[in-house]
Structure 1
Amino acid sequence: MDVEKSSEKKSRSGLQKLYKAVMFALVVAAVTKELQKDPADREWHGTVAGFVPYEFRIPTFARAKERLWDPEAEHVIGPQVFGVGWTVNVGRVVAVVKDRFTD
């Protein structure tokens, strides 16, 4: 039993390290992409690696609400409020669940 738990921990640890390395690489790529632009053209948001969204602008309440609680949105998954990757639009999840159980 202890051997199985140990190998599970090692496997999880390896996946966590891989995840952290990939996320670090994506952050570096996004920042590099912005720094290669003319200072006047830097937007600090967009995509990197062709499809991974990044958002480095100072978060606003409106943007946080739009990305975290927008029941009218088309998608459940959207860009982070700040950082690289995606986040769950909890408002859309609640709306979908509510629609399923009220019909």
Structure 2
Amino acid sequence: MASYAMKITLERIALFQFTPTHCAQARAMLGWSVDELSRESGVLVDVIERFEARREVPDADRLALAYRFESEGLVFFPGFAPGRGMSVRGTESNSVGRTDFAMVE
């Protein structure tokens, strides 16, 4: 288990990397409404709407949103649209057959 300092560091990285734009883009990628994201993440609809409108929301809610999307295989980097991580559901089991095999390895 990670130390408390490591946990805090990882949370700060997640908070820095996950933006309001990412939230809206990730919802669109998954086909989720604000209501569905609220059900999936446990974050109130009002808080999600405030976050996507670039208003202040508690860090705990931002982390809950980021972690919920990450559990669906999405990754976030500042300045880029959300992407699919390497361990996404539905990826090919035989990565050698993929056209982007060199990138997978």
TM range (shorter): under 0.3
TM-score between both structures, scaled by the size of structure 1: 0.23
Calculate the TM-score normalised by the size of structure 2. Answer: 0.23
